[in-house]
Structure formats: structure tokens, C-alpha cells
Amino acid sequence: MEEASVSIRLNPFKGLDGPEGSPVPWSPFGRILDSRPQFTLDPRLHAGCYYVQDSSAMFVGHVFRRELERLGVREGLRVLDLCASPGGKTTDLAASLRQACGGSFTLVSNEVMKNRTGALLDNVALWGDPAVTVTSVDPAVIGRTLPGYFDIIVADVPCSGEGMFRKDARAREEWSPAVVELCAARQKRILADVWPALREGGVLVYSTCTYEESENDANLRWAAGELGGELMPPEEEFGRWGVRVTDCGNLLKAGEVPGEGQWAGTLVKTSPAPGMRRYDLQALRPLRSGIPGPVQKGSDLVPHPDMALSIEFAKDAYPCVEVDLQTALHFLHRDALVLPDAPRGYNVIMYNGHPLGFVKNLGNRCNNLHPLGRRILMDV
């Protein structure tokens, strides 16, 4: 069996700095690498300069950008990434929205599984876009709480996972016809539950990482008929790169495209939605909203680690200390550092011009403020 490819997607708001590779046809910032580097030991990854993402998964971002262009909305756009962890699609949507709308958008990144929110929160923090709100609620709660609120909903729903067979032995072991049937039914429930939150004329981008027609085309046809929507035509232009056209969307199969399996299709809502009203995202009890600010502790105003990772971070707000690779890795390992030439107090550790986080310089040593949960565990 052919090995899975390795690909990354660059952060256009952090200098497009990352490993070199060949372009992903459907992603302007995607790169397919010749081999898998030791990502853990690249400080640029920890600075949010790029995200490691399968090239086929990036196709969902392409479909989103197509629909974004078709809608023509440039201010105040509201988008929901419904099943968001670990954050690949959220970071792709955030970059696309910021390019199209500047900072005038709201992106809600939701992950209902509590045990999966940690990775999502970390990846959103590294990407550094202040317009992203992270939540962890059931789709039905969103549908009830925010009727008619969203212009676009991206639903990369849990599926039977056939597209992951090449690189995920567990997906192969757990597959069965009963699992396919269960997944198809669960996907219908998810779509029905969140549907009220999409405004009339809004767009559903629906995707899976399986090849099963019952989970892909059949479910989107079901949504069109039962929930009220118009199917959008699939993409035709990527056939020479192995992207198939199906009845209601596009299918990428491992072995035919560089990446793994993915299916995506779109639906425009034609059924009526409640009239607009005053909404408050706080009703969803966000786990994160924007970039956390500094906290007063005693006589100290302590900067939050995520402040340095924000794409809007002002590098003149704190003294910045450019360090070499080994020192950067020691910082990320959460080791104590000695910076004899740095001023006392809070300093930002920089690598290749990219902020990594804060230390408090005490003179003879520095207190390392890198979050414990994000520290490099391997030897550096």
C-alpha cells in the first residue's frame, strides 16, 4: 500500500514561513512535502506559522472559499465550523475569512466531544486569529440558541472513515456495514439539529472522510428534500488531479490524489429561518473568545501566553529577544533560560522573527511562561 503523503498549510498572516514543498492545487497556501520532517523540533510550527494538514482535507477549504465568493458578503460574515477538532478546517476558514473580510467576521469553532477540545483550543491559540470563538455544545443547542444566525455552516461530520484506511489501522478494524448505517443516521440527526441556525440563503458545506454513498451524496440529497435546500453543482476543474465528480459533490480517494479520502458537497438553504434578533454568543458558554489579555497577580500584570501568538500582537509592546534554534527549543521544552542581555521583566522569545511566548527575566535566570500542556516532551 502506498504511503500517505505529508502536507502543510501556511498561515498567510504569519509570513508564509514553513517547510518547502510542491503546491496543493486547491489550496493557495498548501504544500506537499517530499518527506516528513521532525515537526516537533520546528519552532515555526509552535509559532503558528503553519498547520500540518492532509491535502485532501484542504479541499473543504477550497469549497468554502468558492461559496464565500458566490455569497459576495464582505462584512459581518458569520460562520460555524460544527465538528471542529483538532482545528485544521477552523484555521483554514479563519485565514480565508480574514483575507476576504479583514477582521469583520465571526467564526465559531465547535467541538461537542469534551475530550477533543484541548487540541482545538491549542491549535486555535497557535494560529492566533482573534475573531475565532471556541465552543463545546451539542448541535441542537446551537440550532435552538442561534436561529438564522449563520451565513455558512461547515459540517465535517463523524463518519465510517474509509478514507483513512491507508494511514489508520484502527479505522480499518472498526469498519463494518453496521457502522456505516449508524454513521449515516447520526449525520442526518446532526444536520437536522443544526439546520435552524443557518439563515435562509445561507450555505451548508457538508463533508466526510468516507467513500460511502449513504453518508455522502444520499445524505445531502436527504437534507435538500427534508430540510429544504438547493444542491450546488460539484467542482469540474480538478479532474486532472484525481478529484472525482459525484452526484452531489466531489470525492477524493487515497491513491488517486496525493492525500487521503475526502468527500464534500454544498447546499443552499431555501427553507425560511426566523427573523434576525439580538444574539449573544455567550449563551453558548465559549471556552475561548478572542485573545486573552494580561492578568493582575499581586503587583505584576502578567501577560497571557496566547497574546504573543496573536496575528495582531504588537511587537513593540514588550521587549523581544531573538534566539537561536537550540534556545527556542529549550523555551518550548519549558526549561529555565538565562538571557543576560535582556532587560528585566517580561520579554518575548522570538525565533526567525516569530513570537513564541513570554519569559520573566529575573537577571540570573528567567521564569518560563510557556504553557505546560504545550511543552515539547521529547529531548531537545
Sheet with 27-33, strands from edge to edge, namely 22-24, 27-33, 6-10, 50-52
317-339 burial, b for 16+ CB within 10 Å, e for fewer?
A: ebeebebeeebbbbbbebeebeb
Look up 366 and say whether it is catalytic.
no
Catalytic pick among 49, 101, 159, 209? 209
Instruction: With beta carbons less than 8 A apart as the criterion, state whether 207 and 262 touch.
Output: yes
Q: How far apart are CA 309 and CA 182, in angstroms?
A: 40
Instruction: With beta carbons less than 8 A apart as the criterion, state whether 44 and 69 touch.
Output: no
Burial class from Cβ neighbours inside 10 Å (0-12, 13-18, 19+) for residue 295 reads exposed
DSSP secondary structure string, 210-254?
Answer: ---TTTTHHHHHHHIIIIIEEEPPPP-TTGGGTPEE-SSEEEE-B
Q: Nearest 5°: CA angle at 101, between 32 and 318?
A: 80
Which residues have a Cβ under 8 Å from the Cβ of 224 and sit 6 or more positions away? 230, 231, 267
Closest CA to 20 of 31, 36, 35, 4: 31
Closest CA to 160 of 112, 206, 210: 210
Q: Nearest 5°: CA angle at 212, between 207 and 216?
A: 35
Rg of the Cα trace of the chain? 22
Q: How far apart are CA 285 and CA 288, in angstroms?
A: 9
User: Catalytic positions, please?
Assistant: 209
